[in-house]
Amino acid sequence: MPISSARHERMVYGDIKLYSGTAHPDLSDEVAEYLGLKLCERDVVQFPNDNLFIKLHSSVRGQDCYVIQTTSAPVHRNLMELLIMLQTLRLDSAARITAIIPYLCYARSDKKDQPRVPITARLVADMIEVAGADRYMTFDLHAGQIQGFFTIPGDVLSGFHLLKEYLKNIRQQMVNPVVLTADLGFAKKARNYAEVLDVPMAFTEKRRVANDSKAKALTLIGDVKDRDVVIVDDEVDTGGSITQAVNLAKDMGARDVYVVFVHAVFSADCAARLAALPVKQFITTNTVPIPPEKKALLGERLVVLSIAPLLGEVIRRANEGRSVGEMFNE
């Protein structure tokens, strides 16, 4: 097949048009820089009645459009902005629209675990599709079954690939380390960290009561005495689970503690709570923007790894019709 024909087949959706919401402009700038592109200009206006208005500065007819908008706090403002931008692109005849949502809101509401409650994660997936998305990209969903809530194709990426490389680099300075899960539900993913580091695992068993956002850690299963402990979880929201896991590990004789997680949600006074813990390093990614005042509380103990190069490469491969799995030998 001639080169020009092969390229035409790969580029059936036109050139990349990269748009940013207002939720995480720094991440969008990094992705654009990786791709060697400029972010497409648009106006996002909030009227006095809190209604949002979006206007594109140029046509996207026949183009391959990507919208980067994380849906952390303020959740409803950021979610509505994403939905309106998706519809705006659809109404302007974009050839393909991909919603890039590094952190997907309502991901914990993924099942009916008590009577008369919603499955809000499914609702959010439906809204994203109805608004106009042809594809989606996100990172580390709270529960794998959320992928099934979408009927459009997507890429669920993982911060694990970034976090594991950092941990491998500091592995030599750790003393007899062990991986500890902050939640039994994360045990399967935690096993991947233990395998990469070639260390044993321990588990924290906890229970959440009714609608209370706080869960109580009850038992530590495994040996952490005189060991460095790497506590892993998918996200840190209020910091309650991590606080209890750290305190349990210390009570059981742990040495240095490292806390590793993908989504730094840091609701309410979470950062202050974490700052008071005897933790050597907090290692996370930038799927969620961390306000400067919260970064300051954690100081040099906070390590934030950027997902921008990974996200940029996935965008490029999606546009060219190339495999994403090849990046991870899958």
pLDDT tens-digit series, residues 15-70? 999 999 999 999 999 999 999 999 999 999 999 999 999 999 999 999 999 999 99
Q: Smallest Cα–Cα separation from 161: which of 141, 177, 146, 140?
A: 140
Helix (H, G, I), strand (E, B) or coil at 178: strand
The pLDDT of residue 5: 44
CATH numbers and ranges of domains, the chain: 3-158+308-328 (3.40.50.2020), 160-305 (3.40.50.2020)
In angstroms, the CA 242 to CA 261 distance is 10
pLDDT tens-digit series, residues 116-148? 999 999 999 999 999 999 999 999 998 888 999
User: Which residue has better confidence, 229 or 186?
Assistant: 229
Task: Evaluate whether 122 touches 145 at the Cβ level (below 8 Å).
Answer: no
Among the listed residues 17, 188, 206, 225, the single catalytic one is: 206
| Exposure on the CB side of residue 21, measured as CA atoms within 13 A | 32
In angstroms, the CA 232 to CA 171 distance is 15
Residue 300 is classified by DSSP as G
User: Which residue has better confidence, 215 or 330?
Assistant: 330
The pLDDT of residue 329: 78
The pLDDT of residue 74: 97
In angstroms, the CA 57 to CA 131 distance is 20
* Residue 62: CB atoms within 10 Å: 13
pLDDT tens-digit series, residues 69-125? 999 999 999 999 999 999 999 999 999 999 999 999 999 999 998 999 999 999 999
* Residue 310: CB atoms within 10 Å: 22
* Residue 124: CB atoms within 10 Å: 24
The pLDDT of residue 9: 47
- Per-residue pLDDT band at 6 (split at 50, 70, 90): very low
pLDDT tens-digit series, residues 246-293? 999 999 999 999 999 999 999 999 999 999 999 999 999 999 999 999
Mean pLDDT of 157-181: 96
Q: Smallest Cα–Cα separation from 246: which of 204, 198, 283?
A: 204
Structure tokens at 160: 């694990």
Look up the pTM and report it.
0.92
User: Which residue has better confidence, 295 or 11?
Assistant: 295
- Per-residue pLDDT band at 217 (split at 50, 70, 90): low
The H-or-E segment that residue 18 falls in is strand 16-20
Residue 12 confidence (pLDDT) above 80: no
The pLDDT of residue 215: 57
In angstroms, the CA 139 to CA 311 distance is 10
- Respond yes or no: is residue 164 known to be catalytic: no
The H-or-E segment that residue 231 falls in is strand 229-236
Residue-wise DSSP of 217-231: EEEEES--TTS-EEE
Residue 214 confidence (pLDDT) above 80: no
